[in-house]
Amino acid sequence: MTLRIITRSAEETRAAAAAFARNLRRGDCVALSGALGTGKTQFVKGVCERFAVGETVASPTYVLMNRYGGRDDKGREILLYHFDLYRIRYADEVHDLGAAEFIGGDGISMIEWSDRFPEILPARRYDVRLSAGSSQDMRTVEIVPVGVDA
């Protein structure tokens, strides 16, 4: 079932992501897609806020992956992996990064520009599509569970 949320600011996008992140568990993958500036990184920031990440969360456009340490509901450390595939040209480059070690592992993976390489995505994931709305700050966030038990 698709969940559709309208947000009217970056703060609302982060809050929606934090609320959604209550459903995330170790091994989950969040595949983000949307045009430049639609809030993919803001969404990742919200997920990271939910897991009490103390570091600055920024798009890994040039380094391709950032790793953040957070805490799960039981206070145990959980790692969050933030990928940005915008500058990647071939799926082999994703494999060369060692992404397979992180996606579906013991942490949570969030992949911006995931629609560029659907072949690397696990069968069980959350597809998050962000799009610009009618005003400058309005966003539509669609969350589609794929292979996730309802």
DSSP state, residue 23:
G
SS3 category, 53: coil
pTM of the model: 0.92
The CA distance from 111 to 85, in Å, is: 7
Helix-helix angle 40-50:10-20, to 10 degrees: 50
Q: Are 87 and 74 in contact (CB under 8 A)?
A: no
Reduced to 3 states, what is the DSSP secondary structure of residue 44?
helix
Per-residue pLDDT of 95-130, as tens digits, reads 777 777 888 788 999 999 999 999 889 999 999 999
Identify the band that residue 150 occupies on the pLDDT scale cut at 50, 70 and 90: low
Domains along the chain with CATH numbers:
3-146 (3.40.50.300)
Cα separation, 21 vs 89, in Å, equals 29
Share of the chain above pLDDT 90, in %: 67
Is the separation of the CB atoms in 60 and 82 below 8 Å? yes
In whole angstroms, give the CA distance from residue 148 to residue 62. 31
Q: What is the pLDDT of residues 4-41, one digit of tens each?
A: 999 999 999 999 999 999 999 999 999 999 999 999 99
